Structures are given as C-alpha cells and as structure tokens.
Structure 1
Amino acid sequence: MYELNKLYNVDCLVAMKRIPDKYFELAIVDPPYFDGPNKRRFYGRDINKLNIKRKIYNVIEDWEVPSEEYFRELLRVSKNQIVWGCNYYDYYLGPGRIIWDKVNGQSSYSDCEIAYCSMHKKTKMFRYMWNGMMQGKSINEGHLMQGDKSKNEIRIHPTQKPVNLYKWLLLNYAKKGDKILDTHVGSASSLIACYDMGFDFLGFEKDKEIYKLAIKRLDDAMNQLSIFNII
C-alpha cells in the first residue's frame, strides 16, 4: 500500500491493484481525453487559428487514454468519483455532471469542460476564468479576472486546471476526514488543493518529466503553506 500525502511516479492502473476496495472516499481524476499527443510526442498545435505560434509544452511520453479496466479499478478503490472529460469516453459512468465554465471569451479553446460526478444526478456549474494570463479572481468571483497577474498560477502542463477549481470540488463534494485519490496528477493542482484544505491524498503520475515538474510544484506549495501556518 502506498503512503498517503505523496505523489508517485507510477502507472496508476498498476498502482490501484495494490489498493483495497473502497479505500478512498473520493477520487477526482483527469485522465487523457483523446488519442494523439502520444503519437506526435507533444500536446497541441504549433500554430493556432490566428496564425500565431503557440508555446509547445513539455514532451509527453506516457499519454494514454484509459481503458475500461482503468474505470473498473477506479470504481473499485473509491466510494465516489469525479471524472473530467467524461463526454469523450465510450465508458458510461452515470448521469451526474459538473460543468466548469472557463469564462474564456473569444478563445479558440473549449468554453467549458465536463466531469462526471457520482454524488448526484443533477448538472452543477462552476464559473472560473482560465485563459492564458486571464485567470479568475477567487472561488466566489471566478467570473472576474485576477487583477494582479503576478499572483496567477504558473502553467506546467498542457491540460492544467486551476487549484481553485479543485478547492471548489472539495468544498462541495468532500467532507472532513475523506481520503482523496488522483490517478493522473499532471500539474498537481488537485494535490495542492487537498494539502491546503487539510485532506489526505494520494497521487500518481506516469510521465517522468511531468512528474518532476509536478513534485517540485507540490513541494514548493506545501513548503510555502507550512511557513504561513507557522507565522
């Protein structure tokens, strides 16, 4: 069994086989939605629709769309699940939905992202600006832009989600004492939110280079938060 409050560089499907049934109260996961980056060796396009050269993020060596076996294991080890990108998978999880409205204006990217939520059969929405340097002001004022861009989150992953999105999920779908699982950690936003809010967590990231960036980001956040707690 893996130690809690750690991020491991391991294949999540292999790792989950070592976890007892229903060990985690909640899994919040963001697996790769579609096939492609694993073949061209990077995520995204060199040139956007406006003919502007985009930043190419780090090469992704281990981009793999999850199999049906992954979902079976995820449901086995967790009591409840929030799964981003559920609209891309052939595997049906249930009717509950969470819509993240990214308030991204005229961006060429998607206006929103969709997650499956096992904890209700409704559709719930969270508005939080996330478009380059335009990032949300706060959880409660996510539709407004953060005025001081020096406080923006630094992006280290092509499909990075904001820490405040995960904090909103924890506020609404987790309770004190819950253990949280993230099988595809990516930028570590989910783990930073868990640490900041006092939830025990366990994270897996298969890609070695992404793992190195994520573990540094997580360590930096935990050390900074610890200093604030001491003060």
Structure 2
Amino acid sequence: MIELNKIYNMDCMEGMKLIPDKYFDLAIVDPPYFKGPNKRKYYGRTVNKLNIKRRNYEVIENWNVPEEDYFKELLRVSKNQIVWGCNYYDYYLGPGLIIWDKVNGESSFSDCEVAYCSMHNKTKMFRYMWNGMMQGKSISEGHTQQGDKSKNEVRIHPTQKPVNLYKWILMNYAKQGNKILDTHVGSASSLIACYELGFDFLGFELDKDMYNLASKRLSDVMNQINMFNEI
C-alpha cells in the first residue's frame, strides 16, 4: 500500500493496482483529452508579454488519453468521482456535470470546461477568471480580476487549473476526513487545495519533469504553511 499525502512519479494504472476497492472517498482527476502539444503542433508563445520564457512543452511525453480500463479502475478505487474533460471521452460516466466558466472575455480559448460529477444528476456552475495574467480575485468573486497580479498563481503546466477551483470543489463535494485521489497531478493545484483545506490526498504524475515541478510547488506551499503555524 502506498502512503498518503504524497505525489508518486509513476503510471496511475500501476499505482491504482495497489489501492483497495473504494479506498478513496473522492477522485478529482484531469486526464489528458488530446495527445499533447507535441502531437497537435501548437505550443503558444515562446516568451510571454512579461518577457518570461515558458517551458518547452514539446518535451512532455506520456500524454496518453485514458481508455475504458482507466475509468473502470478509477471507479473501483473511489466512491465518487469528478472527471474533467468528460465531454471529450468515448466512455460515458453519467449525467451529473460541473461547468467551470473561465470568464474569458474575448479569448480564443474555450469559454468553459466540463467535468462529470457522480454526486448529483444536475449541472452546477462555478465562475472563476482564468486567462493568462487575468485571474480571479477569490472563490466568491471569481468573476472579478485579481487586482494585484503579483498574487497570481504561477503557471507551470499547459492545462493547469486554479487552486481556488479545487477548493470550491472540495468545499462543495467533500467532507472533512475524506481521502482524495488525483491520478494526473499536473501542476499539483488539486493537492495544494487538499493540503490547505486539511484533506489527505494521493497523487500520480507520470512525466518526470512535471513531477519535479509539481513536487516543488506543493513542497513550497507545505513549508510555508508549516513555518506560519510555528510562528
């Protein structure tokens, strides 16, 4: 059995084999729904408007779109599931949906993202601005732009989601004492939200470079909070 409150650099399919049936109360996952920037030949700007060079996403491998065996294993190890990108998969999970309105304005990117939610049969929406340097002010004022851009989250992954999105999910769909699983950690936003709200978690990330970046990001938050508690 693998330990909680860690990220493992391994294939989630191998990792889930080590997990008992229904061990996790909630799985919040964001699997790849395309073959990666290196497959679709689009990487965005090399240098952004602040003259910051972005990571070379061309080197990210293992953007494997999950198939039926992944979803069956996910349902085996977790009691409930929230699965981002459900509208892209051939595997039907159910009618319950969460819509994340990204308050994109005139952006050429998608106006929203869709997740399957096993905990209801309706559609619920969360509004939170997420477009480059334009990020939401707070969970309750997500439609309003963060006034101080120095407080914005640093983007380390091409499909990164905000920590506040995962906090909203946990506040609405998890109970204290629940164990949370993320099979595709990416930037570790989900795990940061778990740690800051006091949930036990487990994460898998296959790409070695992304695993290192995510581990550092999570570790920095954990160390900062621990230092604050000591003071």
2:43 alignment partner in structure 1: 44
Count of matched residue positions in the alignment of Structure 1 and Structure 2: 224
1:95 alignment partner in structure 2: 95
Q: Is the 8 A contact 2:55 2:156 kept in 1?
A: no
2:9 alignment partner in structure 1: 9
1:111 offset after TM fit, Å? 0.3
Matches within 5 A, 1:63-82: 63-82=63-82
Gaps of 5+ in 2: 47-52
- What letter matches 2:15 in structure 1? A
Q: Is the 8 A contact 1:57 1:156 kept in 2?
A: no
- What letter matches 1:21 in structure 2? D
1:208 alignment partner in structure 2: 208
1:38 offset after TM fit, Å? 5.3
- What letter matches 1:153 in structure 2? E
1:117 alignment partner in structure 2: 117
Aligned-residue Cα RMSD (Å) equals: 1.6
1:194 offset after TM fit, Å? 0.2
**Distance of aligned partners of 1:32 and 1:126 in 2 relative to their CA distance in 1, 3 Å threshold:** same
- What letter matches 1:97 in structure 2? L
**After TM superposition, which residue ranges in structure 1, 4 or more long, deviate above 6 angstroms?**
none
Output the CA distance in 2 between the equivalents of 1:62 and 1:165. Answer: 25
Q: Is the 8 A contact 1:182 1:203 kept in 2?
A: yes
Q: Is the 8 A contact 1:38 1:62 kept in 2?
A: no
- What letter matches 1:135 in structure 2? Q
- What letter matches 1:214 in structure 2? A
1:226 offset after TM fit, Å? 1.2
With the length of structure 2 as denominator, give the TM-score of the two structures: 0.93
Output the CA distance in 2 between the equivalents of 1:98 and 1:159. Answer: 17
Q: Is the 8 A contact 1:62 1:206 kept in 2?
A: yes
With the length of structure 1 as denominator, give the TM-score of the two structures: 0.93
Gaps of 5+ in 1: 48-53
Matches within 5 A, 1:85-164: 85-164=85-164
Identical counterparts, % of pairs: 78
